[in-house]
A and B are shown apart, each in its own frame.
Chain A
Amino acid sequence: MRSARWKHTHAHQRGQTLIVFALGFALFLFSLTCLVADSAYLYVWSGRVQTAAQLGAQSGADAVDPRYLYSATGPCTTVPSMGLCPVPIVDISAQDRQGALYAFQRSCIEAADQSAQIPRDPANPPVLKTADDPQLPEGTVCASDGCRVYAEVARVVQLPIPFPGFPESITVRGTGYAAPVVGTSRATSTCTGAAWVPESPPR
């Protein structure tokens, strides 16, 4: 026969189990909510950043002077006695350049930063970065290998429901390539990898 003391202890243990289960289940539900909300948010942002990279690369490729692509010629500026020379990319020369960036980099960065909504100051999100702002820790890097324009966008995404003890933000990255081209006639320039390349793409 079970004693009154055994019954009391058993009832107490059942109450304890219920509390532990309730706390554990609440934690499980909270974790699940964090996981679902954060992964859905990151999924949406990864798509946005990838699109921004593609748009940036395309915009940069469109900023290459098409006369260069079609082997147009003009008077030689460096050695006039040579007669006709290939048309240069205008901002290869330092005096035509606006700041430290080439035209294709400027277009690429502007388009990608705007599309990925990269804030100049994370505390003031409505003001977005421009090409002249530092592109770290989030921003756009644009380069070329002489054939294509390469854009890599990094965007720091604040998680909507960060799980305690885990990072509150994650950097999402996207990469895009685009070739400069103008339709209706065949492009005759070859990818020398030297003509309008200021630097190699980051690897």
Chain B
Amino acid sequence: MRRSRRRGDDAQAVLETALVIPILLFLVCNFVAVMVQVTVQEQLNSATALAAQSRFQAPENAVDASGTRCCGVHGVTLVTSGLPTGCRYAAETFYGTMRTDTGLLQWHTVTLCTSGGDSGNGGHPPAQPVAYAGSPANADVSCDIGSIKAGGVVVPGYVDRTLNPPSGLDVVTCSATASLDFANTPLAWGVFWTPTVHAQAEALPPPFRQ
């Protein structure tokens, strides 16, 4: 009788363990997934902010020579010939900063270099940026930048009318969006959601490089 009670206790313990362990694993997987998402979000914020700022390290009228390529991270090569050099600088900074965690990320591909665009206000309707002619459309980051083309033709950047209203300020914006794909990681066992991270950054032109 004593032996059968002990066997019953053992069976109960096994059953309890079998119930509790999957729940604990599920919780641990999701805690880790949330931490990964927060880390990637922070990294994306940094990468877009530094990318927007690095546009100003190129002269405003500099254009990439024929055959110029950039980045080459995880199999993506972007041809930037004929595009503003500042756009390539922004892309290189972005890809350089986002080197880690790239295996997890499914990027939402966008056009690398755009121009124009307006945040809009009472007197001006909002406008969407347009792509530079020849800009690669398979980039992970998109930067809206102004430039000066040959012959002094000014290509406007993004006008943010919340700054210095109502005329606004010409700023550089960079944005990127990616989904976190846990399918190829051990976390897939307990994570059933695919979070999307997005970052957009704006950089004001410095006083001597407008």
For residue A115, CB closer than 8 A to chain B, the reply is: yes
Residues of chain B within 8 A (CB-CB) of A91 are: 207
B209 near A62: Cβ-Cβ < 8 Å = yes
Residues of chain A within 8 A (CB-CB) of B43 are: 47
B85 near A64: Cβ-Cβ < 8 Å = no
Q: Residues 89-124 of chain A: 1 if any B CB is under 8 Å from the residue's CB, otherwise 0?
A: 011000000000001000100110001000000000
Evaluate whether A184 and B209 lie within 8 angstroms (CB atoms) in the complex, with A55-B49, A62-B53, A62-B56 already known. no
Give min CB distance, B22 to chain A, whole Å. 22
Residues of chain A within 8 A (CB-CB) of B56 are: 62
Residue of chain A at shortest CB distance from B35: A40
A183 near B62: Cβ-Cβ < 8 Å = yes
For residue A198, CB closer than 8 A to chain B, the reply is: no
Residues of chain A within 8 A (CB-CB) of B58 are: 182-184
Residues of chain A within 8 A (CB-CB) of B39 are: 47
Give min CB distance, B210 to chain A, whole Å. 11
For residue B159, CB closer than 8 A to chain A, the reply is: no
Give min CB distance, B146 to chain A, whole Å. 15
Residues of chain A within 8 A (CB-CB) of B45 are: 48, 51
Evaluate whether A59 and B206 lie within 8 angstroms (CB atoms) in the complex, with A40-B35, A183-B89 already known. yes
Residues of chain B within 8 A (CB-CB) of A47 are: 39, 42-43, 46
Residue of chain A at shortest CB distance from B65: A184
A182 near B57: Cβ-Cβ < 8 Å = yes
B53 near A90: Cβ-Cβ < 8 Å = no
Residue of chain A at shortest CB distance from B38: A44
For residue B192, CB closer than 8 A to chain A, the reply is: no
Most chain B beta-carbon neighbours within 10 Å: one of A48, A67, A107, A181: A107
Residue of chain A at shortest CB distance from B52: A55
Residues in chain B within 8 A of chain A (CB atoms): 35, 38-39, 42-43, 45-46, 49-50, 53-54, 56-59, 62, 85, 89, 203-204, 206-209
